[in-house]
Structure 1
Amino acid sequence: MRISGEPGFVLHARAWRETSLLVEVLSANHGRVGLVARGVQGPKRHALRAALQPLQSIRFDAVQRGELAQLRGAEAMDAAPRLSGDAMVSAFYLNELTLRLVPRGDALPELFLAYANTRQRLRDGEPLAWTLRRYERDLLDALGIGFDWSLEAGGGPVDPAARYRVDPEAGPVRMLSDRGAQDRRQGATGRGLLALAADEFPQAGDLAGLRHVLRAVLAAHLGPRGLKSWEMLSGLPGRAGFDPALRDQGGD
């Protein structure tokens, strides 16, 4: 199968053999695609190597034979966001999460758009915690394992005054008021869930709860092997402005 002029975002690239790269791309019409980019070393191939860096928007040609496609050409469509500090770590998390949960070969146009929007939000310096919660929600939806965050698992409306855990299969489940304080802190407010459902910036204090419940859902689908970004982020010192929804993901 030939892939021609396909828009995509580079998720990951690593050296392969002496002069080649193995590249993972989230594409507009073919979903996640694994590419073999041969002969990318040398001064004459600098533009191609630059186009194959993570977070880069590209247009590429390839020939699909088996699990991996042979890259025939690629060009950068814009300058990748210049990120540093927390934003750079957030981008690493974004790409790793996508690689782990998105299967190769499934066209997911809604996810491609969600990734494009998230990349732009990182470029624009929008609040990291909310930016990543929105992408996690959209990723689950695109994979068909998300929920209507405005409805309880039983079908009734979410109560903004209540607190919820989220069952990875059924959705929001109201937490009983007699549960321990620590246990209830692992849940989300109904108000926060409704904000997530409406794509409205949550009120102060609600983002941490959204992180807890989305993490639980993601962890259930990731299985026993966590994310490298969770391990890396768990050791970072707290800093003003750092996304608390990332910092605690290395473990409770």
Structure 2
Amino acid sequence: MHVDLADCVVLHRRAWRETSLIVDVLAREHGRFALVAKGARRPKSRWSGTLEPLARVSLSWRGRGDMPTLADVQPGAPRRLGDNRLLAGLYAAELTLRLCARGDPHPALFDSFATLLEILEQGAPAVVALRFFERDLLAELGYGLDLWHAADTGQAVVAGQAYNLVADVGFETADNETVDAVDGRVLIGLRSGRFELGADVRTARDLMRRALAPHLGDRPLKSVATAHAMQRLGRRSDAVETADAAHRSSEEPRT
């Protein structure tokens, strides 16, 4: 196979042999696959700094089999993402790696991923932006959620009515007291790309986790574990700073 300057996003990379990399990418027209970047870890490699995770690049490759050889890289603009938004991007990349079959093109998913990274760079809240990427990912893989109609009645989803997600069925009408039931307002927000209330964002996050769980299996996502570890570290740091401030305050001379 000979491909020249395909539009790609780098999903992940790992060391291979002494000086090379294996680079997992999502190509708009070719789907997800891995490339061998020979010599990319050498200090003076021409590809140094161009194959970072989440980078949008144009790639050329040659060869047959599961892992062709990288031939050329044309880098795009540098990616500028803060801590939370960087973790959000890595989470989206890990979902793509875990759920997308190799060599199965999904141009619409590529566009959704690229849009996610762009709006994260522009300052969009990660907890909101990710929900719409998760929605698009499930739809592209054939597991899309019907956010328009109740599965049991066929009637339109409406705000104020509770719905419960039933595996392999869809959203059925439910009582407000039903465990994990969500207001129709949340489903309308997911399909329209805009949530009315802050509480709807948190509900949508939990809902999408349940929708993804059957497809991810029991193996935890590394990006989620990293985010939780950073949150715990942040809470401990805040507690230490508070304790130090209290200690300093107690040592100040009283007047």
TM range (shorter): 0.7 to 0.9
Following superposition, the deviation at residue 238 of structure 1 comes to 9.9
Which AA in structure 2 matches 1:68? Answer: M
Aligned residue number for residue 94 of structure 2: 96
- 1:17 equivalent in structure 2: 17
Any idea what SS the aligned residue of 2:62 has?
strand
Q: What is the TM-score of this pair, normalised by structure 2?
A: 0.85
Give the superposition deviation at 1:49: 2.6
Aligned-pair identity in percent equals: 35
| 1:153 counterpart residue number | 151
CA offsets per residue over residues 89-130 of structure 1, 9 Å max, x none? Answer: 212211111111111101100001001100001100111111
Instruction: Tell me the CA shift for residue 176 of structure 1.
Output: 2.4
Q: Find 1:200's aligned residue among 188, 194, 203.
A: 194
1:230 aligns with: 224
Please, which runs of 5 or more residues in structure 2 have no aligned partner? 235-255
Contact 1:8 1:60 in 2 (8 A): yes
- In 1, Cα distance between equivalents of 2:39 and 2:198: 51
Q: Which has the larger radius of gyration?
A: 2
How much does 1:73 deviate?
1.3
**Offset, 1:153:** 1.9
Indicate if the aligned counterparts of 2:21 and 2:41 stay in contact, CA closer than 8 A: no
Name the Cα RMSD after superposition.
1.9
Instruction: Describe the shift of the 1:101–1:213 C-alpha distance in structure 2 as closer, same or farther (beyond 3 A).
Output: same
Q: Secondary structure at the match of 1:106?
A: coil
Q: 1:120 to 1:168 in 2, by over 3 A?
A: farther
Distance 2:43 2:224 in 1: 36
**TM-score scaled by length of structure 1:** 0.86
Aligned residues: 233
Give 1:167 deviation, angstroms.
2.6
- Structure 1, unaligned stretches of length 5 or more? 240-252
Residue of structure 1 equivalent to 2:239: none
Query: Which residue identity lines up with residue 201 of structure 2 in the other structure?
Result: L
Correspondence for 2:42: 42
